[in-house]
Amino acid sequence: MAKSSVLGYPRIGENREWKKALEAFWSGKLEESELHKQLQEIRLNHLRKQQEKGIDLIAVNDFSYYDQVLDTAAMFGIIPKRFNYTGGAVPLSVYYGVARGTKDAAASEMTKWFNTNYHYIVPELYGAEPALTENKPLAAYREAKEKLGIDGKPVILGPFTFLKLSKGYGKSEIDTWLSILVNLYVKVLKELEEEGVQWVQIDEPALVTKLSRDDVTRLQTVYGKLAEAVPSLNILLQTYFESVENYKEIINLPVQGIGLDFVHGLQGNLASIREFGFPKDKVLGAGVIDGRGIWKASLSDKLELLKELQGYAASDKLLIQSSCSLLHVPVTVKGETKLQPELTNALAFADEKLDELILLTRALNEGDASITAELEQCEKALQALEQSEARNRKAVQEAVAVIQREDASRQSNFESRQLAQQQKWQLPLFPTTTIGSFPQSAEVRKARQSWRKGEWGSEQYAIFIKEQIDSWIQHQEEIGLDVLVHGEFERTDMVEFFGEKLDGFAFTQNGWVQSYGSRCVKPPVIYGDVEFTEAMTVEETVYAQSKTARPVKGMLTGPITIMNWSFVRDDLAREQITYQLAYALRQEVEALEKAGIGMIQVDEPAVREGLPLKENEQADYLAWAVKAFKVTTCTVQDTTQIHTHMCYCEFHDMIDSIEAMDADVISIETSRSHGELIQSFEQNTYKLGIGLGVYDIHSPRVPDIEEMTGMIDRALQVLDPKLFWINPDCGLKTRGKEETIASLRNMVAATKIARDKHLVNV
C-alpha cells in the first residue's frame, strides 16, 4: 500500500499566532515560559490537523522558534563567539541574538534559502567547537507521541547541506568539518534509533545543485558512516526544489529511501528514473504535490505520473509527498471569502494540499473510481480559470510579443548619461540617500486599517499620508541627506501595493507565508494577464517633490521582483509573466518622468533569488531578467537617473548581469555579510553608480560612525569614488523612528568623514 507523507508544515499558524507570540516575547510582553507554552500549542495543533486528515508519515521537528538552519547550528553549539555562549543548551537570548543582533553584537548573516523567498541564518564555523547541546528531533518525536499518539518522522537538515550553507571554513577544511558533523549526527540518530523511531527524514536539498566528484565521494562516506552507526533506522534522504545531480550515485547511497521532487524537478528526475530505474529495495518519496505553488493539482495528471512511477517502485515502496515543505505556502483557503469563485476554486494552500495527498493515496490504493467525483470537480475548477477573461487579454499579449522583439537599450551610454545627470543634479561626492521606506508606526498602520475598513474617507486618509510625507521630508533635510524619498506610507508591501493597482492580480485575506524570522508576507496572486490601468505612484511622489528643493526619487518595485514575490500562474512561463509586468511598469516610469520626477528607483531585490539552481539554465534566466528591467526603464531621457536596489543575496556570480541592467545607480546590501560582497569588486570592475549598504536595517541596533566609516573605506579601495553612493542596506519600514534618525545621522557623519578623506583625490 502506498502511503502519504508531508515534508513539513507552515509554522506560522492560521492567524499568524506564531509571529504574534515571538514579537510579544521580543518586546517584553510575554514571559519565556508563556512563549514555550503558546508555541507548543501551535505546534501540536499543526500535528493534530495532519493526524485527523489521515497523513501516514507526519513530519516532526519541522517547527522552529525562528529558522531551521539556525536550529541545527544551535543543536550543535555552533554559536559565534561574539555572543559569549559558554556551552550547553543555547539560551533563547543567545538564539535570538544570533538571528536579530544585540546591542553589542551584530546578527549573523541572513540569506535566501536556495531559490525561495525564505531566508535562513548562515551558520558561522570560525573557531567553533561543536557539541550536541540537545537532541531536538528526539524531543519533537517524544512530544508528538506522548501528546497525540503520533509515531512521527523526525526531520533534520543533512550534514552535507548544512556545511554547504555555512561560512567560516576553507576548502581544505571541508572533510574535517564533515567528519566533525557526522559524529554529531551519529549521536542524534543513535538516540532516535534507541527511542524506536522508524523513519528519519534527512533533508539534503544541496544535492540538486552542481556536485563535484569529491562531493559525491564525501556523500558516500557520510551516509556510509551513518548507515553503519544506525543499521535499524530507516533514513529517507530527501531532496527538493529541482532534480538531483549525479542521480545514479545518489540513489545507491546506503539509505532506505530517496525523496525526489516531481514538480520543480519533474523533467530531470523523470528522465533519470526512466533511464536508470530506481532501486527495488528502497522507498521512493514521490514529491508530486507542489509545496511552493498555490494552485490545485490536476489530480488526473498526478495519478498518471504516479502510475508510471509504480513501474519503478512498488506500491509498498511508494510515498506520495509534497515536493518540499509546505512552509512556502499559506495555511488554508477556507478563510478566503472575497475572491472570485473561479479563482478560489482553483486554489490549494497547505491544508488543501494535505487533502490532495490523501486523495491521490486513496486512488492509488483503491483505484481511480474511489475519487471519481473529486477528479471531475478538480478538472472543472481548473478549466474555468483557464477560460476566464483575465487569462485572455489579447491586447496585452500582443504588446508583450512586440517588446520582446525590440531592443531595450537607453538612448545613450552610461558615461554620457552620467555627465548629463551630474550637470542637472550637482550632487556632492558620495551622495547620501535611503532605499525608500520610512518607519510605518502603529499610527500609520491604524490609519490604513481605518481607511480600508471604510471608517476613514479617502480624503481624510490622503491628508494623513501627506502629513507623514511632510514630517519625513523635514527629517531627511535636517539629517542632511542629499536625495530624498517620500517614505511609502501609503504602501503595505512593496509588491502588494502595485498588484492592487494592476489588473491580473488578486489578493488573499489570510494568505501569509514566512519570509524571515517573524516577518510574514502575503504575496499577491498573479492569476491573469497583467495590465496597466492608471498611474500608481505619481500623486505621492510629486507631492513630496513639491516640499523640497532636493531631488525626490520615484519608487517602484521591478518586474522580476514582483514576479518572484508573488504566487504566479502555472499555465504561462515566468519569462512571459515578467515581460507583462515590465510593460505595465514602463508606463508608470513614463508617467513619473512626465510629471517631473527625474530620479526613479526600480527595486529588484529578488533578481538573484529567481536564479535557477541548474547552471545550464542560469544564463537564459539572467538574459530575460536583465531585458525585462531594461524594458521597464529604457524609454526615459538621459537626464532621468534610474536607480535600482538588491539585497540579501549572493551576487558575486552575477556582477556582469547586474552591470548589464544599465541602471545609473545600484544599491546593494553589504553590511550583514560583513563586507564580503566587496571582494567581488576586487576581481570585477564596476563602471556604473553604486551604493553598498553601510548598515543593517534588520537589526534594532544603531550602528556607530566608526563601523560605517570602515565599511565605506573598504569599498572605496575597489570602487570609483566619483560613482559611489552611501545608503542603508534596505528600506526602513520595520524600524522605529528614533533609531532610524539616529542611524541616518551617523551615516551622514560617516559620509562627511569620507568626503574629507577623499575630496582631495577626486
Catalytic residues: 698
Closest CA to 202 of 70, 335, 72: 72
Strands (E), 158-282: 199-203, 234-238, 257-261
Q: Name 647's Cβ contacts closer than 8 Å, sequence gap at least 6.
A: 605, 668, 669, 693, 729, 730
Q: What angle do CA 449, 454, 455 make, to 5 degrees?
A: 75
Output the CA–CA distances (angstroms, integers) from residue 337 to 330, 334, 510, in the order listed: 15, 8, 10
3-state secondary structure 623-645: HHHHHHHHHHHCCCCCCCEEEEE
**Distance, CA of 705 to CA of 208 (rounded, Å):** 43
How many residues comprise the chain? Answer: 762
Q: Are β-strands 199-203 and 513-516 bridged in parallel, bridged antiparallel, or unpaired?
A: unpaired
What are the cell numbers at 515? 519570509
What is the DSSP annotation of 19-63? HHHHHHHHTTSS-HHHHHHHHHHHHHHHHHHHHHHT-SB-EES--
* SS3 label, residue 171: helix
**Distance, CA of 448 to CA of 423 (rounded, Å):** 40
Cα-based torsion angle of the residue sequence 470, 474, 476, 479 in order, rounded to the nearest 10 degrees: -160
Q: Name 303's Cβ contacts closer than 8 Å, sequence gap at least 6.
A: 360, 363, 364, 368
Closest CA to 37 of 24, 52, 53: 24
Q: What angle do CA 371, 334, 455 make, to 5 degrees?
A: 160
Closest CA to 53 of 269, 358, 272, 331: 358
**Tell me, what amino acid is at 754?**
A
**Distance, CA of 624 to CA of 621 (rounded, Å):** 6
Q: Is residue 622 within 8 Å of residue 413, measured between CB atoms?
A: no
Q: Is residue 256 within 8 Å of residue 236, measured between CB atoms?
A: yes
**Distance, CA of 496 to CA of 328 (rounded, Å):** 17
**Distance, CA of 609 to CA of 276 (rounded, Å):** 32
284, β-bridge pairs: 258, 318
Q: What is the CB neighbour count within 10 angstroms for residue 45?
A: 12
What is the phi/psi pair of residue 105, to 5°? -140, 130
Find where cell 582631495 sits: 760
**Distance, CA of 614 to CA of 432 (rounded, Å):** 38
